[in-house]
Amino acid sequence: MTGADHRILVVGGKLVAAAKRVPAQVTGDGRSTIRELIEQVNRDPRRGEGHEAALTKIVVDDCLLHFIARSDLSLSSVPARNEPVVLLPTANLSTGGIAVDCTDLVHPDNALIACRAAQIVGLDIAGIDFIAPDIGRSVLETGGGIIEVNAGPGFRMHLYPSQGRTRNVAKPVLDLLYPQGTPSSVPVFAVTGTNGKTTTALMLAHILSADGQKVGLTTSTGI
């Protein structure tokens, strides 16, 4: 399939957000090497390690070196002024890509296909990886389609898009979990002190689990 990489978030059978994902890249200034350009991009305060920040720093690894080598480039190459250099074949935020909100642009056909895919797989919450030359036109006309359905989609690209409107994707998830008019309270036990907190929390969790309750537990040893 040819086209841009999009992530469509489906919650409860409805499209709630969509983002165009752009692979990690740098733009030449006619003086700096690709390595220096990557270092400049990584100084953006929005970028951090892993998923700790809105964006992830670009990591120079074998995949990146292999990909740019296909264009006869290396870290010491100096791109021309305003020349874009794509660094990786995938557009994941976790590999340094950026997201551009396009929720309001999605063609109804594309939205229906994404929602139907989530329903067929049986997921209430799904991230649909959608390839389309133009998300505003039907893929039935342009070509394109779904390449992956994610059961645990990340929300970062919708909450902190590099361009476009922020989408409150947590609200439809909470509305799905706790529909209007249904009980939605979650009892919480907080254990404090000096020694024995973890042991006490483990005992409480065991007692409640034995009583048939669904228990979420976090202690010094983990979640």
Q: Please give the domain boundaries of the chain with CATH numbers for all domains.
A: 4-177 (3.30.470.20), 186-223 (no CATH)
**Residues 52, 96: contact at Cβ < 8 Å?**
no
Kindly list the strands in the beta sheet with 125-132, ordered across the sheet, starting from the edge strand earlier in the chain.
98-101, 14-22, 4-11, 125-132, 145-150
pLDDT tens for each residue of 34-68: 999 999 999 989 888 877 777 889 999 999 999 99
Say if residue 217 is exposed, middle or buried (CB neighbours under 10 Å; 0-12, 13-18, 19+). Answer: middle
Q: In terms of pLDDT, which residue wins out, 5 or 52?
A: 5
pLDDT tens for each residue of 119-134: 999 999 999 999 999 9
pLDDT tens for each residue of 175-213: 998 888 887 788 899 999 989 999 999 999 999 999 999
Most confident of the following: 10-14, 52-56, 91-95: 10-14
> Cα–Cα distance between 214 and 212 in angstroms, integer?
7
The residue-averaged pLDDT of 88-96 equals 85
Strand partners, 10: 15, 126
Q: Which of 180, 161, 153, 158 is nearest to 169 (CA)?
A: 158
Q: What is the pTM of this model?
A: 0.74
**Residues 54, 45: contact at Cβ < 8 Å?**
no
